[in-house]
A and B are shown apart, each in its own frame.
Chain A
Amino acid sequence: GAGVSQSPSNKVTEKGKDVELRCDPISGHTALYWYRQRLGQGLEFLIYFQGNSAPDKSGLPSDRFSAERTGESVSTLTIQRTQQEDSAVYLCASSPGARGPQYFGPGTRLTVT
């Protein structure tokens, strides 16, 4: 079946602009995660959605970052007033439940100029 998809695959934006990143999880997966990966580093947890529960936003680095998820489907990660330090690959993952393997999308490479 279809895997996790993300769009756009690449985004170049000017400092100060807002960006919206989209994630389509695997159908039926109740858990959805967003991570950030800076060049040459591991993944930083950003936010977690599980079904209709309140999301865990504890990893969001500032109030410029927000995310939404519609039911158990699409999620969007929004970064307002982008800064150069926001440049990274943003990865989305989904899983059938709250534990176990996560299935990753190809990521969105964000470059803030």
Chain B
Amino acid sequence: SQQGEEDPQALSIQEGENATMNCSYKTSINNLQWYRQNSGRGLVHLILIRSNEREKHSGRLRVTLDTSKKSSSLLITASRAADTASYFCATDANDYKLSFGAGTTVTVRA
């Protein structure tokens, strides 16, 4: 079953704008990870945030985690055409399995 749910399902933005997507989950977690998928094939790991962390940065990516609300957000700043992809959150609920949401499809218009 899918624990994470991303919102919105789809997002269309202009190049240079910021993109924000959210993830909600149901059970307590060890960590939460964000992945990117291009063209429906292999996923690329973007960032991992542990349950005792509140914010993490990696390049143009900023992830926040609010364990009291069981939610996370991914912000992509200064978007580029190459950021067009589907983005998935995945939760590690204290075992080795990752539970993935259905994803947010981001389209960056030139």
List residues of chain A with CB under 8 Å of any chain B CB: 4, 31, 33, 35, 37, 39-43, 45, 48, 50, 56, 59, 89, 91, 93, 98-107
Contacts and interface: CB of A to CB of B under 8 A. Distances in A.
Contacts of B35: 104
B43 A104 contact: yes
Nearest to A107: B41
B45 A105 contact: no
Interface string B33-54: 1010000111111001000000
21 contacts: A35-B100, A40-B102, A41-B102, A42-B101, A43-B43, A43-B90, A43-B98, A48-B97, A56-B96, A59-B97, A91-B42, A99-B31, A100-B31, A101-B48, A102-B43, A102-B45, A102-B98, A104-B44, A104-B45, A106-B41, A107-B42
Contacts of A40: 102
Contact-size category for B: 20 to 34
A45 B41 contact: no
Given A99-B30, A101-B48, A31 B96 contact: yes
Contacts of A59: 97
A99 B42 contact: no
A50 B103 contact: no
Interface of B: 2, 4, 30-31, 33, 35, 40-45, 48, 88, 90, 92, 96-103
A45 B40 contact: no
Contacts of B92: 99
B103 A106 contact: no
Contacts of B42: 4, 91, 104-107
Contact of B103 (A33, A42, A99, A100): A42
Nearest to B43: A104
A43 B48 contact: no
Nearest to B88: A42
A108 B96 CA distance: 23
- Of the candidates B30, B48, B100, the one having the most CB atoms from chain A within 10 angstroms of its own CB is B100
The 9 closest A-B pairs by CB, nearest first: A42-B100, A101-B45, A43-B100, A98-B96, A104-B42, A106-B42, A104-B43, A42-B102, A106-B41
